[in-house]
Chain A
Amino acid sequence: SQTIHQWPATLVQPVGSPLSLECTVEGTSNPNLYWYRQAAGRGLQLLFYSVGIGQISSEVPQNLSASRPQDRQFILSSKKLLLSDSGFYLCAWSVNGGGETQYFGPGTRLLVL
């Protein structure tokens, strides 16, 4: 069966520090991968998606970047965190694109102070 992992689960970082969040998927090959951010009490905002190694699409201009160095690994990064980067970050995968069913990781809660 397929599983998706995210770490860390919780992170507290000072403003201006770098960020690296990792997501890995097991039990499937060539998944579509997604990074979302969820503000408190809100829906999900798509940040990045990837259909293959090295292929990244950005949905919103921002202080973050994403990379996919391996087929089942998706990394969210920042060189200098802003207060507004605080939130709940969710990674997801799908078998196909086209807005089909997505399977979510447990999330990383980021607090920037």
Chain B
Amino acid sequence: SQQGEEDPQALSIQEGENATMNCSYKTSINNLQWYRQNSGRGLVHLILIRSNEREKHSGRLRVTLDTSKKSSSLLITASRAADTASYFCATGQYGNKLVFGAGTILRVKS
């Protein structure tokens, strides 16, 4: 079964706008990660936030984590057409697993 549930399932925005995607999960985690997947390609790791962290930045990416609500958000600022992709959250479980959500499809229109 999938741990992370992304919301929305699909998002369409104009270039230059911000994109926000949310992820909820059910059990205790070691960390939460976000990955990007361009169509027909492998996944690319974007950012990892540990369970004792609340916010993390990487370039135009901002990730927040609220362990009390078991939720995370990914904000992409000043989006570009090249940001068009599927975005997955993955929860790092104690042990050897990453459990992925179903993903959010982001389309950035130029």
Set A43, A57, A104, A106: member contacting B103, Cβ < 8 A? A43
Set A88, A99, A107: member contacting B30, Cβ < 8 A? A99
**Chain B residues whose CB sits within 8 angstroms of the CB of A36 once the complex forms:** 100
Indicate whether B59 reaches chain A with its CB closer than 8 angstroms.
Answer: no
Q: Tell me the smallest distance from the CB of B83 to a CB of chain A, in Å.
A: 18
Given contacts A43-B88, A44-B100, A97-B96, contact A90 B33 (CB under 8 A): no
A-B contact count (CB 8 A): 65
**Chain B residues whose CB sits within 8 angstroms of the CB of A99 once the complex forms:** 29-31, 91-98
Q: Is the CB of A43 within 8 A of B48?
A: no
How many chain A residues sit at the interface, stated as a range, is: 20 to 34
Please name the residue on chain B nearest to A102 by beta carbon: B98
A36 to B95: give the CA distance in the assembly, Å: 17
A42 to B88: give the CA distance in the assembly, Å: 10
Indicate whether A17 reaches chain B with its CB closer than 8 angstroms.
Answer: no
Q: Is the CB of B31 within 8 A of A100?
A: yes
Indicate whether A35 reaches chain B with its CB closer than 8 angstroms.
Answer: no
Q: Is the CB of B92 within 8 A of A104?
A: no
Set A98, A101, A102, A105: member contacting B94, Cβ < 8 A? A98
User: Could you name 15 residue pairs across A and B whose Cβ atoms are closer than 8 Å?
Assistant: A36-B100, A43-B4, A43-B102, A44-B88, A49-B96, A97-B96, A99-B29, A99-B93, A99-B98, A100-B92, A101-B33, A102-B45, A104-B42, A106-B41, A107-B40
